[in-house]
Amino acid sequence: MMTAVLRRHRLVRGFTLLELIIAMTVLGILAAAVVPTTRKLVKRRKEVELKRSLLEVRTAIDRFKKAHDEGLIALDDIQQLGYPADFEQMILGVPLKKQPGQTMRFLRRIPLDPMTGEAEWGLRSAQDEPDSRHWGRENLFDIYSLSDGVALDGTEYAEW
C-alpha cells in the first residue's frame, strides 16, 4: 500500500524542465506576434488623429473663406484673398461687418500634430506652390504635418 502512494506521488511532483521550456517558447512566439500588431494599431490610431486634425483646420479655413465671400467679415489686407492671415486670426476671431463689437471665431485652439506631439504645422498660402515647404506669409490657405514619417500606406505625412 505504501508503494502505490509513493508511485502516485512521484508522478505528480510538478513541472519538468522540458514543460517549462515548451511553455516559455509558446509564450515567446505569442508575444512576438502581438508586438508588431500593437505597434501597427498605435500608428494607425495616430494617423486617424492626424487626419482629424487636418480636417478640423481645413474646415475652419473653408468656413473663414465662406464668411468672407458672403460678406460677413471684412479683411483689411488684399493679399489675404479671403483667407485667414494665420492661426491667431482664426482663434481670436474677426470682427463682423454688420455687428460692430462682435467677432466670429473659427478655431478654439491649434490642434496637436499627433506625429510630432506639438501644435506646430507647416503652412501654405494661396500664392505658394502646392508642394511648397516654405510659407509665403500672405495668408493661411493650407497646413501639413512637419513629421518626416511615412504612413502605413507608404505616403509621407507631410503630403497629406
How high is the pLDDT of residue 116?
Answer: 94
pLDDT tens per residue, range 26-84: 998 888 887 778 889 999 999 999 999 999 999 999 999 999 999 999 887 766 889 99
Task: Flag whether pLDDT at 135 surpasses 70.
Answer: yes
How high is the pLDDT of residue 58?
Answer: 98
pLDDT tens per residue, range 85-120: 999 999 999 999 988 889 999 999 999 999 999 999
How high is the pLDDT of residue 152?
Answer: 92
pTM: 0.77
How high is the pLDDT of residue 49?
Answer: 97
CA angle at residue 44 from 42 to 46, to 5 degrees? 70
Domain spans of the chain, in order of start: 47-159
Helix (H, G, I), strand (E, B) or coil at 144: strand
Asked if 90 contacts 140 with a C-beta cutoff of 8 angstroms, the reply is yes
